[in-house]
Amino acid sequence: MQTEIIVAGFGGQGVLFAGQLLSYAAMDEGREVTWIPSYGPEMRGGTANCTVIISDEEIGSPLVKNPQAVIAMNLPSVDKYVSSVRAGGVLVVNASMAPREVERQGIIVVNVPASEIAESLGDKRMTNMVLLGALLGNLPVLPLESIEKALKAHLPARHHRLLPLNSQALQRGAEYTKQPVV
């Protein structure tokens, strides 16, 4: 089975880190993986996205046109990728930065006030982990425990103090369940 995911938002939101972490977790589980980052020249505030493919078999091409899932961390990302999610796929939206309703039928839309959840946990930088948790709660390509293991294994030691907070953010995001749009 092959799962294709796009994570998109502004630079500085942890877009690339969320995709990379997903890739590391899949690799650590023995899966085949591609991770392709794309970002503008700006350090913060420019567009950023990445594609992740997770497969049980060799991956033929790293290109993704119609992913099973998109994490959209802001409104421009919703606008750009909503039409590309394949029928029956999942669109996880940071409702904190994309407050309007998605007008697309035939996909599962999960609106998560991720920025507010992250702030309530004490660190707005956890927004990406809240959204990643919501994705995995609605598209079980990997268990949350795999992400937590990957965090511990791949996060620099100087950031290990943030492991419990990352875990909480993942769990809080996973609590947001499927909200089908028909």
CATH number of domain containing 152: 3.40.920.10
- Whole-number pLDDT of residue 43: 59
The per-residue pLDDT for range 138-159, each reduced to its tens digit, is 999 999 999 999 999 988 889 8
Q: Which residues pair with 50 in a beta bridge?
A: 7, 37
The per-residue pLDDT for range 90-140, each reduced to its tens digit, is 999 999 999 888 989 999 999 999 999 999 999 999 999 999 999 999 999
Residue (of 165, 176, 182) closest to 94 by Cα position: 176
Query: The domain containing residue 120 runs over which residues?
Result: 2-181
Lookup result for tokens 């309007």: 100
Q: Is the pTM of this model over 0.85?
A: yes
Residue (of 11, 36, 21) closest to 135 by Cα position: 21
Residue (of 133, 136, 137) closest to 173 by Cα position: 133
Element (H, E) at 112: strand 107-112
Element (H, E) at 147: helix 144-154
The per-residue pLDDT for range 41-89, each reduced to its tens digit, is 665 667 899 999 999 999 999 889 999 999 999 999 999 999 999 999 9
CA separation for the pair 131, 153 (Å, rounded): 21
Lookup result for tokens 């946990």: 121
Total domain count, the chain:
1
